[in-house]
Amino acid sequence: MTDQQLQDKAISIKGKDYVLVSDRIIYFNETYKNGCIKTALVSQPDAEMVVIKAQIIPDIETPDRYFTGYSQAKWGEGMVNKTSALENAETSAVGRALAMLGIGVIDSVASADEMTKAGVKPELDGVQKQMLEQKCRKCGGEMVLNPKTGNVFCKNKCWLN
| pLDDT, tens digit, 9 for 90 and up, residues 29-87 | 999 999 999 999 999 978 899 999 999 999 999 999 999 999 998 888 877 778 888 99
Amino acid identity at 48: E
Residue pair 93/70 in contact (Cβ under 8 Å)? The answer is: yes
Residues 135, 141 contacting (CB under 8 angstroms): yes
116 and 143: one domain? no
**Statement: residue 105 has pLDDT above 90:** no
Q: What's the whole-model pTM score?
A: 0.66
Q: Count the domains in the chain.
A: 2
Please give the single-letter amino acid code of residue 130: Q
User: Do 79 and 110 belong together in one domain?
Assistant: yes
How many H-runs (helices) and E-runs (strands) does the chain carry?
5, 7
Provide the domain limits for residue 156.
124-161
